[in-house]
Chains A and B, each alone.
Chain A
Amino acid sequence: KQEVTQIPAALSVPEGENLVLNCSFTDSAIYNLQWFRQDPGKGLTSLLLIQSSQREQTSGRLNASLDKSSGRSTLYIAASQPGDSATYLCGGGSNYKLTFGKGTLLTVNP
C-alpha cells in the first residue's frame, strides 16, 4: 500500500527566500508523481508532473525532482512571493490511483 508523507506540515518564510518542500513515498513502483497547489477552500491546480522515466521537471520558478530509488520527491521554489502562499500537495500514481500526502502549508511573508 502506497503511503505518501510530506514534510514539513507548515512552513513560513520571508519573501524572496528559496525553499524546498519534501515528499516521500513507500512504493517505488510509481508511474509518476504530481505536485499540486491548493488555495483555501479551492480545488487542486496541477503544478508539475514527473513521469516515471523522468527525474525532474521545471516550470518558471518551480522545479520538481523525483528519485524513485530513495522514494523521494522535492519541490523547489525560487525567489518566493506572497502569492505563493498556499497548501502544496504531492501525489504518487501507482496501480489504480493517485495517493496523496497531507500537504505542506506555505506562508510567504511580505
Chain B
Amino acid sequence: DADVTQTPRNRITKTGKRIMLECSQTKGHDRMYWYRQDPGLGLRLIYYSFDVKDINKGEISDGYSVSRQAQAKFSLSLESAIPNQTALYFCATSEDRFVGGYTFGSGTRLTVV
C-alpha cells in the first residue's frame, strides 16, 4: 500500500456541488499539506496542518476548507465547486522541519464543469 493515499483519483463534478477529497497516510508524520497544481503556475499551498488541532491557511485557501480527522487523515473540501478549481490536487506529509523530506500522494485530478 502507498504511504500517502488520495481518493478519488479522478473526479468530474458540476459547478456548485460540494466535493471532498480525502488523504490518509501511514508514515506517522504529524504534518500534512494540500497543494494544487495548475499548468504554468506550479504547486501552490492551499492548507497545512501540523497536528490535529493546528490547521492553517496557505496561499490560496479561498473556496476551500479542510478537516484533520486524525493524525493520519486530512480532507479537503470544496464547498461550492467552480470551474477555475479544476486542477490536480496533491496531499503531502512531512516530519517536523522536513526531516526526511516530503512524501506526496498520487494526486486527484478534479474537473469542474
**Residues of A at under 8 Å CB distance from B?**
31-32, 34, 36, 41-46, 49, 51, 89, 91, 93, 96-98, 100-103
Is B73 interfacial (CB 8 A cutoff)? no
Decide yes or no: A31 and B97 within 8 Å by CB, A44-B90, A97-B48, A97-B58 being known contacts: yes
Residue of A whose beta carbon sits closest to that of B31: A96
- Nearest-neighbour CB distance to chain A for B8, whole angstroms, equals 14
Docked complex Cα distance between A93 and B31 (Å): 13
Chain B residues positioned under 8 Å from A32 (CB to CB) = 98, 101
Interface membership of B56, Cβ < 8 A = yes
Within 8 A of A (CB), among B44-78: 45, 48, 50, 56, 58
Contact in complex: A46, B102 (CB < 8 Å): yes
Q: Which of B43, B50, B107 contacts A100 (CB 8 A)?
A: B43
